[in-house]
C-alpha cells in the first residue's frame, strides 16, 4: 500500500523515537527526506544521517540529538500536506518562535530554511516547522 504523506511519516517517526529516547531512527529514503535531514543537520537538530541500501531499497538513518537528557527538537510540525498545500512568497515566509526555530521550505533552488530563502529572495512550499 502506498503512503499518502511520506514527509509526515518521517516527522512522526522522529517524534516517536525521541519520545522513547532512541539514539537513531530508520525510514525509507527519498530525495526530499534526505534534503530535510541535511537541513536538520546543518541547523544542529540531529547528530548525523546516512543512506544505506537494505535489500535493494534505500533506507535513511537519522542519529537523534539530546541535550541534558531532553531532545533538541522540541517541536516538529508538518505544515503543507497533500490535502492543503501551503505556499509563501519571499515576503510572507513565517518566523518560527520569533527566529528561535526554523521553517523548512521547498524552493526552486532546493530545500532550505526560511532564513536562507529570505536571503536568497525566493519563496516556496512551507514543509514543516522545527524548534
% of the chain surpassing 90 pLDDT: 95
Residue 24 has pLDDT above 70, yes or no: yes
Contacts of residues 5-8 at CB distance under 8 Å and 24 or more positions apart, as own/partner, are 5/78, 5/81, 5/82, 6/30, 6/32, 6/33, 7/32, 7/33, 7/36, 7/78, 7/127, 7/128, 8/78, 8/81
Element (H, E) at 109: none
- Indicate the pLDDT class of residue 3, thresholds 50, 70 and 90: confident
- Distances in whole angstroms, Cα of residue 89 to Cα of each of 77, 104, 121, 123, 128: 20, 14, 9, 4, 16
∠ CA 35-38-43, nearest 5°, is 130
- pLDDT tens for 106-125 read 999 999 999 999 999 999 99
Please tell me the predicted confidence (pLDDT) of residue 17.
Answer: 97
Q: Say how many C-beta atoms besides its own lie within 10 A of residue 45's C-beta.
A: 22
pTM: 0.95
Mean pLDDT of 48-65: 94
- Indicate the pLDDT class of residue 2, thresholds 50, 70 and 90: low
Please tell me the predicted confidence (pLDDT) of residue 88.
Answer: 97
- Indicate the pLDDT class of residue 46, thresholds 50, 70 and 90: very high
Amino acid at each position: 500500500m502506498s503512503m499518502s504523506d511520506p514527509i509526515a511519516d518521517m516527522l512522526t517517526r522522529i517524534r516517536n523515537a525521541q519520545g522513547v529516547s532512541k539514539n537513531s531512527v530508520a525510514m525509507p529514503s527519498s530525495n526530499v527526506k534526505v534534503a530535510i535531514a541535511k537541513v536538520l543537520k546543518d541547523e544542529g537538530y540531529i547528530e548525523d544521517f546516512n543512506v544505506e541500501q537494505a535489500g535493494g531499497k534505500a533506507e535513511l538513518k537519522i542519529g537523534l540529538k539530546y541535550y541534558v537528557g531532553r531532545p533538541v527538537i522540541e517541536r516538529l510540525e508538518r505544515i503543507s500536506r497533500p490535502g492543503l498545500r501551503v505556499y509563501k512568497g519571499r515576503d510572507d515566509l513565517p518566523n518560527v518562535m520569533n527566529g528561535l526555530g526554523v521553517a523548512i521550505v521547498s524552493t526552486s533552488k532546493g530545500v532550505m530554511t526560511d532564513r536562507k530563502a529570505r536571503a536568497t529572495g525566493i519563496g516556496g512550499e512551507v514543509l514543516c516547522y522545527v524548534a
